[in-house]
Structure 1
Amino acid sequence: MREPNEHLRLARESTPSADVAGAAMSRQELADRVNAHLFEHTGRLYELDDNYVGKLERGIIRWPQAAYRDALRAVLGAATDADLGFVNTRRLQAAPVLQRQDEEPLGGEPDVKRQEFLRAAFVGVGGLLTSPSTLLDLLAPLRPSDAPKRVGRGEIEQVRGAADLLVSWGHSHGGAGVREAANAQLRWFGQLLNAQATPEVRVELHEAVGLLGHATAHMAFDACAYDDARQIFKFALACSEEVGSWHLRAKVLSSLARQEIWRGEPDLGLTYAELALVRADRLTATEQAMLHTARARALAKLGRYQDTLRAVGQADDAFAGTAPDGDPPWMGYYDAAQHAGDTGHALFDLTVQGHDTEAAPRLLAAVDGHTAGYVRSRAMSQTKLASLTMAVGDPGEAARIGLAAVDDAGRLHSRRAAMDLAELRTYAARHAGVPEVAELRHRVTTALAS
């Protein structure tokens, strides 16, 4: 049985918070301070978060990589790894055959796992989910309700309306505030999969419920509730597989890819993106652009410079041929601003690694191009532009951009937007003596504490 790492938890809880007077350091604050320490001492950007610290404290990971251990010791004032409960499990095994779940992966293993996943996926991701009742097993147990016994196009329009509302709310307000309501909607409408319907209605129903599942999962992702999001994404993917909806399948796999990239698993994210492109001929140009940008973001995180540029080029080529009238309705968000922001995010990672790229003009185009309904996308691109400028440009200009980003991001209920602000604060630390930067750091800290 896995044992929690009480040494690490106690060390964290014994360290006072720098953000909240009288409180102990939170998991996210510890992650932020470790990221700042690593950036200061290595010049590289790290993206540890509260989820990773939670894995350490729960004993899921017992021996983090050396750089993380060094930073954790420095931040928590520990003299040795043992003081923080870290144990090298590899040394405790005479002849290990399989990698344990409590060890971080060794170099080379992610490629093997990705290839195995791809081979299995060709059988069909939802291949074992052969009936609507089996699909419902992926959701929480349902209580009896007054769901109709037969479904027609009226019910399908209701499901689509609920999905549209959630998507719109997420774009303008963030997903963290209404997750429970979204979950309740999905549980209720999910019951319709068991109702009687004509073959044509059945296809549209699965696609509509799958789209609602995707919107619900994305709200969980935006709240960084990764396990919940992954489970609901898989439900949505199963709905698409059940009726052979290649378009919904591509959208769900794209979002799964982006979540894994966000949470520090770019190799798995690359797997999902490439899986969605297996039959690119069945997808629209806009969908292909969306997936190539996901590939680019994963490749950039993996440090594959030329491959990233090639993927951005493929995304640009695909987007040049976009025909919105032929896209599924849910692809309406992927306009020129979204494309500029997604590719700009990918190139951001290359730029902070020392390469000369078009990241800044693309991110600026995204900020200028996002309309009023896309507050979260505009805020996240603007925050990223501020971080980029802080890292490689003029800190005063970066502070000006960052203050505008705080105004947008501070109104959102989005954990992802908050994490981007925390990243900006990390970049700003090296210029803390600049008055405008000091004001930005104060504003960011205030926004994150609210």
Structure 2
Amino acid sequence: MENTALRQAREVRGWSQGKVADLVQDWCWKNELDPGSFDAVTVSRLECGRIRWPRDEVRQALRAVFEVETDAELGLVGRRRPRTQNREVSPTNRRTLLSLGAAAVLPDVTTSPSRLGADDVRGLDHHTAALEEWDRRSGGRATRHFAGLELRRAIDLGSASMTPAVRSAWSGSVARLAGLYAWTTFDAGEKGAAVVFDLALDAAQEAGNALAYCHIATNAARQAVHDGDSDRALALTASAAGAHPPAVLAMVCAVTAQALALQGDIRGVMRSVAAAEEHAARADESAQEGWMRTLTPAKLRSDIGFALYRLSATTGHLSPDVVPQLRRTAGVSTAAQPRARAMAAARLATVLFRQCDVDEARHHAAVAVDLASAVGSARLDSAVTEMRAAASGGASARSRSMG
């Protein structure tokens, strides 16, 4: 049943559906709430009655944006009685609740339309961007299931009639979603990521999107490094080479350095690190779009720091640059990427514990543990476990020296 109250409230103010979506998103972030992937498509679904009872954060924002007291004034009717008791929710628990409530804002998996248009593909991309941001904030365990649902819907849309241009764009959207699903599967510690990475790479090739292919290939290479498969990682980064923007080339070189570190190739690692820094010096952050906006100096330092950290672990000799690189990353990574900062802090603490620099190590360890409590990531859990082992080993060594 159509929600005429919401549509009329919007139209009387002269707002587009996109304007309402922007206002809701702004209000939520200002009030430290997560609106999820709320966009113009969601507003349209609300007005058409396909969504009648959005999540609590969205309802709060809508009431504030339209300056009304009740949900009913906006035609929002719950299928069940809303809770009458309000209770405080900690930031950590809020993230957990967000993962449970995400289904309220993600699109339903419905029968595919007979014809697919450019707007449909843009809707897919918008939802993917929201899921990518959610992954950066909350980790793969929180995101993987919903990325899988969105990927299934996107693949089902491929049976619809579409122009060649739309099919190319659709292939790019499937590649991006498959890459995200593979990445979150890997980050969640689940099996099957490599197969989905291959699907994503095939879709990116079909779309003729070299940048998307590069992004997916380097993420697949990160998984290979994590699994100890340096040959696969190097093959993937080699396949990603091309005439890319400097920030992208810096990323490829940094991940190549990680793969070479597994082989203990000190000269190769240092050449790749130098190349990454050279490309980064020519990068223009203001010109970056989409996923490329995540290729910040802090991200590059994190990638380089991990390469040096892995090289030290492989060779048994600490690189003189590893502590400065990890220290800068642990202190600079933004609050919007707690996983990246926690991993850098855990790795830095690991090195410092092994060097018996206990005071600073404990500080970074506390940061890592605190951030990890709100991020569902098997990779991060592994880094924290290694950190704790280093702390225990360092304590035993100090005890023996005192004895």
Asked whether the two chains share a fold, i.e. TM above 0.5, the reply is yes
* Distance across 1 between alignment mates of 2:260 and 2:397: 34
* Distance across 1 between alignment mates of 2:282 and 2:159: 40
2:258 aligns to what?
297
2:342 aligns to what?
379
Q: 1:316 to 1:393 in 2, by over 3 A?
A: farther
The reply on whether 1:357 has 2:337 as its aligned counterpart is no
Asked if 1 retains the 8 angstrom alpha-carbon contact of 2:171 and 2:207, the reply is yes
Asked if 2 retains the 8 angstrom alpha-carbon contact of 1:247 and 1:328, the reply is no
2:118 alignment partner AA: R
Which of 272, 287, 306 is the aligned partner of 2:267?
A: 306
Asked if 2 retains the 8 angstrom alpha-carbon contact of 1:176 and 1:414, the reply is yes
Asked if 2 retains the 8 angstrom alpha-carbon contact of 1:387 and 1:424, the reply is yes
Question: Which structure 2 residues correspond to residues 50-61 of structure 1 after superposition, within 5 A?
Answer: none
**Shift of residue 243, structure 1, vs aligned partner:** 2.1
* Distance across 1 between alignment mates of 2:186 and 2:207: 25
* Distance across 2 between alignment mates of 1:355 and 1:270: 23
1:179 aligns to what?
144
* Distance across 1 between alignment mates of 2:116 and 2:375: 36
* Distance across 2 between alignment mates of 1:152 and 1:213: 20
**Shift of residue 233, structure 1, vs aligned partner:** 1.3
The reply on whether 1:188 has 2:153 as its aligned counterpart is yes
Instruction: Indicate the SS of the match to 2:327.
Output: helix
The reply on whether 1:287 has 2:262 as its aligned counterpart is no
2:291 aligns to what?
330
* Distance across 2 between alignment mates of 1:205 and 1:326: 24
1:271 aligns to what?
235
2:63 aligns to what?
none
* Distance across 2 between alignment mates of 1:293 and 1:376: 19
1:250 aligns to what?
214
* Distance across 2 between alignment mates of 1:198 and 1:150: 9
Which of 202, 212, 237 is the aligned partner of 2:167?
A: 202
Asked if 1 retains the 8 angstrom alpha-carbon contact of 2:141 and 2:188, the reply is yes
**Shift of residue 326, structure 1, vs aligned partner:** 4.3
Asked if 2 retains the 8 angstrom alpha-carbon contact of 1:367 and 1:382, the reply is yes
TM-score (norm 2): 0.68
* Distance across 2 between alignment mates of 1:434 and 1:355: 18
1:238 aligns to what?
202
**Shift of residue 204, structure 1, vs aligned partner:** 1.6
Instruction: Indicate the SS of the match to 2:113.
Output: coil
**Shift of residue 216, structure 1, vs aligned partner:** 1.3
Q: How far does the alpha carbon of each residue in 1:77-102 deviate from its partner, in whole angstroms, 9 at most, with x for none?
A: xxxxxxxxxxxxxxxxxxxxxxxxxx
* Distance across 1 between alignment mates of 2:356 and 2:206: 50
2:179 aligns to what?
214
Question: More helix per residue: 1 or 2?
Answer: 2
* Distance across 1 between alignment mates of 2:310 and 2:187: 21
The reply on whether 1:410 has 2:373 as its aligned counterpart is yes
1:383 alignment partner AA: A
* Distance across 2 between alignment mates of 1:357 and 1:309: 12
Q: How far does the alpha carbon of each residue in 1:230-267 deviate from its partner, in whole angstroms, 9 at most, with x for none?
A: 12211111111112111111111101110010011122
**Shift of residue 325, structure 1, vs aligned partner:** 4.6
Q: How far does the alpha carbon of each residue in 1:141-198 deviate from its partner, in whole angstroms, 9 at most, with x for none?
A: xxx9411121112111211122111111111111113322221111011122222222
1:319 aligns to what?
280
2:225 aligns to what?
261
Asked if 1 retains the 8 angstrom alpha-carbon contact of 2:187 and 2:379, the reply is yes
Which of 134, 137, 157 is the aligned partner of 1:169?
A: 134
* Distance across 2 between alignment mates of 1:349 and 1:237: 26
1:148 alignment partner AA: P
Count of aligned pairs: 289
2:248 alignment partner AA: E
1:439 aligns to what?
none
**Shift of residue 328, structure 1, vs aligned partner:** 4.5
Which of 190, 198, 211 is the aligned partner of 1:225?
A: 190
Instruction: Indicate the SS of the match to 1:164.
Output: helix
* Distance across 1 between alignment mates of 2:318 and 2:328: 20
Instruction: Indicate the SS of the match to 2:111.
Output: coil
* Distance across 2 between alignment mates of 1:356 and 1:330: 31
Q: 1:356 to 1:146 in 2, by over 3 A?
A: closer
* Distance across 1 between alignment mates of 2:212 and 2:360: 41
* Distance across 2 between alignment mates of 1:171 and 1:335: 14
Asked if 2 retains the 8 angstrom alpha-carbon contact of 1:336 and 1:369, the reply is no
Q: How far does the alpha carbon of each residue in 1:369-401 deviate from its partner, in whole angstroms, 9 at most, with x for none?
A: 221210111111111111111123512321221
Asked if 2 retains the 8 angstrom alpha-carbon contact of 1:390 and 1:428, the reply is yes
The reply on whether 1:369 has 2:337 as its aligned counterpart is no
Q: Where do 5+ consecutive residues of structure 1 fail to align?
A: 1-143, 436-450
TM-score (norm 1): 0.61
* Distance across 2 between alignment mates of 1:361 and 1:426: 22
Asked if 2 retains the 8 angstrom alpha-carbon contact of 1:179 and 1:220, the reply is yes
Asked if 1 retains the 8 angstrom alpha-carbon contact of 2:345 and 2:368, the reply is yes
Instruction: Indicate the SS of the match to 1:432.
Output: helix
The reply on whether 1:396 has 2:359 as its aligned counterpart is yes
2:183 alignment partner AA: H
Asked if 2 retains the 8 angstrom alpha-carbon contact of 1:375 and 1:408, the reply is yes
**Shift of residue 433, structure 1, vs aligned partner:** 5.0
- Percent identity over the alignment is 27
1:40 aligns to what?
none
2:97 aligns to what?
none
Asked if 1 retains the 8 angstrom alpha-carbon contact of 2:356 and 2:394, the reply is no
